[in-house]
Each structure stands twice: as structure tokens, then as C-alpha cells.
Amino acid sequence: MSESEKLKLLEEAMEMDEGSLKPELVLDEIEEYDSLTKLAIIVLIEDEFGKKLSASDFKGFTTVADILSVMEA
Amino acid sequence: MALFRTSGVEIKGILCAVPEHREDRTDHEKRFDKEAVDRVLASTEINAIHLGQYAGQTAGDLGFTAADTLLNKLDIDRSKIGILVFVSYATDYRKPGTSSVLQKRLGLSVDCMVTDVGQACAGFVYGQQIVESLMMTSDSKYGLLIVADTGNRMVSRTDHTSLMLGDAGAAILFGRNEMAEHETVLQADGFRFKTIIVPGGGFRDLLPDEESVECSDGVMRTKYELFMDGLGVLSFSTNDVVDSIRAYMTHTHTDIEDYDVFAFHQANMFIIKRMMKKLKLPAEKVPISLHEYGNTSCASIPMALCAGIDNYRNKSEIKVLASGFGIGLAWGVTSFSLNTANIYPIIETGDCYPEGVLNLHEM
């Protein structure tokens, strides 16, 4: 899956406009990044990539790129 | 697998009571931005909750009203109730147990054992096993299980969780039926005890100060207020609990077609939809009470059964699989047959027990 396809999936999960996410963005600075969004991201990654993320995984995420890096099967 | 088999005991009636006082988005928007309320309600689909605190109603009050109404409807000889188990953490007093107060209020005899059991969302599945086990080792004609909670009372007013928890009490009467038998699986994981917790006010930390501190989820709360690890709860519900349901069906050689109803703890619709998707459950088999009543803790499963009853009245008997999960962490799965005539509509009540607030001068 290409980076732009992954970004698009993430934008949908986070209910953000297409093209608004960039890998270098800091997660805590994204207004939409809250507890509800994290739930949506967990569901996305489990459904698309078969991975189960935990709370400690999220603690390790600083940028959008960190999430993109786990979006692999 | 912690497997329990019971026989000769069945549910004779289920009735739930909620407080009359209702809150919805109009009330929520007084405390939170409209946008935040929209997001939480869209995700949880909890459109309203009923709260007892404004009428001085405790979990014991809701449980009393449910039980008293049920016992009257079934015209039960109360002297034949030999077992009363009250499941809640929201007890009337530190001691004695609320089951003692309910024994007095319900007019039960002294030949009735009464006890409280500390459980929340797993409380119906745990509680029904406890009562049935006691019934099987006694010759009591009836056993009464009362599950109730007022979870919202200990949640920070700035926590979105305060939009989700609703108060309710449910009474479930158990009686004898030679032909009845079923199995229950009960599980627990105390390694994750901090996942849903009220850290202060217990004997570990009895009187912590009331300072509000920003927690890892960005919410300001005191030690007296509920902390819930949302991601941990999601993972638990959609993995451990779903696995337990699958394992239960494998063990009992049953599948989805064998059940008419899947009664789940009413955590929120995000979790329930995820569970339904993983288990491939059709919506018509999953009754929902959370839209109008929210997450009602241990009363959730009875609330879902009572809320959904109009969908099942065409059958005289339904086969139910129930799954409760939450604080502890604790979870359990059970299945049972239920006569649909014995499931009553949810009632709203303003009843309380002001004489329960004691005046030391009079003691």
C-alpha cells in the first residue's frame, strides 16, 4: 500500500479532509487527535492490517509517520 | 476455562427500574461544547441517561423498586425467598451491606441469607451464577438477585464518561425447574485491575485530598473519581470478550443460529458494533438499551433484555446468550432459556428512602 493510500485511510478514520495529513505532523498538535480518534485508528489498523494496537503502542507515537510505520500487514 | 454447570434452577422473572430524572444533549451542552457532545453521542449512540442523585436515589433504591414490583407482579410468597444477593459497588453504607437494608425493605424472613457482591459490568453473569450455585446447594424455593449501580456519581464532571453512565436497578427472581440446565464461564484478569478504577476512598488510600489533577487522558479528576483506560477497555471488549464468546459457543457446540438473543453489557455502541462485526451477529438478535439509558453497569444485561422484549414476544421462549464484562477486569458468558412472559418493561421511579440517611442524635 502506498503512503498516500495509507494517509487517505487515516484521514477517513480521523474524519479529516483529504490531503490534510502529512507524515511529519505531530499528533498532539492535531486538533482531531483525541481519545475517540484513537479508537477509530485501532479499528482501522486491526481491520486493514490485522494488528492489535495497545495503549502503550500509542504512547510511542509522536508523529503521523509513526502510525504509518505500523500500517503494514 | 472456569466453567460452571447448574441444573434445576431457572429465571422466573426480570424487571428493571431507572430514575425518572433524565438527561440528554440539552443538559450535556451546559457542560461541554456542542461539538464535543455531538462527537461523543455519534460514537456511543447514548442519547439519554437516567440519574438518581437528584432525587436522592441510591442503587439500593432502584434495586428495591425493581424487586418489590417484580415480587408483587409474580405474587411471590416472600417467606420462601431463602437467598438474596445484591451486586453493586454503589452501596448505601460502608457497612452493613445494602442487602441487609433490602431484606428489611422487602420484608424477607430471617431464614434468608443476604449478602452484597462487589462487581460492576460483569455483575449479572457473576451474580446469576452465585445465586444459582446457592440454590443448588439448598432447598430454598426462590433466590433473588438484585443488580444495580449509580456509576455516574463518581465521575468527574469534565469527563466525557459522565455522558455515558446511567443509573439502573434490576431484579431477577430464580426458582425451580427440574428440566432447566445451563453453563456459565466466568473469567477475570486482576493484572489489569487499574483499567477501570476509583483510586481513592477505599482503605488503601482512605482520605486523599480533593485536588483535581490532569490525568494521562487529559481529563481533570480527583482520586475519588473514576479513571477508565478507553483503549484498554476497547481492546479487552473486542478481543478477550469476543474470544470468550467464541470459546463458549465452541464448548457448548452451539453457534449463532442456536440463540434468539445476544444480550451484551451495554458499554457503548462503538464497542457493541465492533463485537457484532467480529462475531457476525445480525442486529435483530442484539437488543439495545443504551440509546435511552446509557451504560447501566451490572443492570445492563437485564436492561437490554427488557428494552428489547417487544421484538421477541412472538416467541413464548427465547434462548439467550449473555456476555458481561468490565471492572476487575472481569467477564463472563452464560446462556439460558427465558419465558418471554417473564420479562417486564422497564419502569421509571422517583422512589427513594430518606430514612436511610441517619441522624446520629437518634441512634
Give the residue extent of every domain in chain A. 3-70
DSSP 8-class letter at B257: G
Residue ranges in chain B assigned as alpha helix (H): 25-28, 34-44, 59-73, 98-106, 123-136, 230-235, 242-251, 269-279, 290-293, 300-307
Return the amino acid letter for B20.
E
The answer to whether residues B130 and B140 touch, using CB atoms and an 8 Å cutoff, is no
Beta carbons of B52 and B58 less than 8 angstroms apart? yes
Has residue A10 got a pLDDT over 80?
yes
What would the pLDDT profile of B178-223 be if each residue is shown by its tens digit? 999 999 999 999 999 999 999 999 999 999 999 999 998 889 999 9
Regarding beta strands B168-188 and B213-214, do their DSSP bridges make them parallel or antiparallel, or are they unpaired?
Answer: unpaired
Q: Does domain A3-70 have CATH number 1.10.1200.10?
A: yes
Residues 6+ positions from B171 with CB-CB distance below 8 Å = B13, B14, B15, B16, B63, B66, B67, B69, B70, B71, B144, B145, B146
Distance from CA of B233 to the nearest CA of A (A): 10
* In contact, B128 and B12? CB cutoff 8 Å: no
* Cβ–Cβ gap A42/B230 under 8 Å: no
| CB-based contact A38 B40, cutoff 8 Å | no
Asked if residue A64 has pLDDT above 80, the reply is: yes
Q: Are the beta carbons of A55 and B40 separated by less than 8 Å? A: no
Residues in chain A with CB shorter than 8 Å from the CB of B218 are 34-35
Residue pLDDT, tens place only, B118-159: 999 999 999 999 999 999 999 999 999 999 999 999 999 999
Q: Which of A36, A41, A43, A57 to mutate to test the interface with B (most CBs of B within 10 A)?
A: A36
Give the distance from CA B110 to its chain's centroid.
27
CATH topology of domain B1-350: Peroxisomal Thiolase; Chain A, domain 1 (3.40.47)
How does DSSP assign A10-56, residue by residue? HHHHTT--TT---TT-BGGG-TT-SHHHHHHHHHHHHHHH-----HH
Residue of chain B whose Cα is closest to the Cα of A15: B39
Which residues are CB-neighbours of B27 under 8 A, at least 6 positions away? none
pLDDT at A34: 87
With a CB cutoff of 8 Å and minimum separation 6, the contacts of B200 are: B206, B207, B208, B222, B223, B224
Measured from the Cβ of residue B160, the count of other Cβ atoms closer than 10 Å reads: 23
User: Quick check: A14 pLDDT over 80?
Assistant: yes
pLDDT at residue B179 in the model:
96
Please name which of B133, B46, B144, B152 lies closest in space to residue B89, comparing C-alpha atoms. Answer: B152
* Residue A54 to chain B, least CA–CA distance (Å): 7
Partners of A58 on chain B (C-beta within 8 Å) are: 231
What kind and span of H or E run contains B190? none
Question: Residue B216's pLDDT is what?
Answer: 86
Shortest distance between the Cα of A28 and any Cα of chain B, in A, equals: 11
> What residues have CB less than 8 Å from B102, skipping those under 6 apart?
B60, B63, B64, B67, B84, B86, B108, B114, B146
Mutate to test the interface with A, among B231, B236, B237 (most CBs of A within 10 A): B231
Contact call for residues B216 and B305 (beta carbons, < 8 A):
no
pLDDT band at A56 (very low <50, low <70, confident <90, very high): confident
C-alpha cell at B299: 443492570
In whole angstroms, give the CA distance from residue B189 to residue B2: 13
Mean pLDDT of chain A: 92
B300-338 exposure pattern, b = at least 16 Cβ within 10 A, e = fewer: bbbbbbbbbbeebeeeeebebbbbbbbbbbbbbbbbbbb
The partner residue sitting opposite A55, judged by closest CB among B232, B270, B274, is B232
Q: Chain-centre distance of CA B77, in angstroms? A: 26
Segments in chain B below pLDDT 70: none
Based on its alpha-carbon atoms, the radius of gyration of chain A, rounded to whole angstroms, reads 11
Contacts of B314 (CB under 8 A, 6+ apart): none
Q: What is the pLDDT of residue B313?
A: 86
Please list, in sequence order, all residues whose beta carbon lies within 8 angstroms of the beta carbon of residue B330, skipping any fewer than 6 positions away: B119, B121, B122, B126, B186, B187, B188, B189
State the cell numbers at A29: 498538535
pLDDT of residue A32 exceeding 90: no
Better pLDDT: A73 or B260: B260
Chain B CB contacts of A34 under 8 Å are 218
Q: Among B197, B195, B164, B171, which Cα is nearest to B295's?
A: B164
Task: Give the rounded percent of residues in chain B with a pLDDT score beyond 70.
Answer: 100
Grid cell locating B205: 488510600
Residue A69 Cα, gap to closest chain B Cα (Å):
20
CB B198 within 8 A of CB B233: no
A53: distance to nearest CA of chain B, Å?
8
| Contact with chain B for residue A2, Cβ under 8 A | no
> CB-based contact (8 Å) between A55 and chain B?
yes
Cβ–Cβ below 8 Å for A36 and B235: no
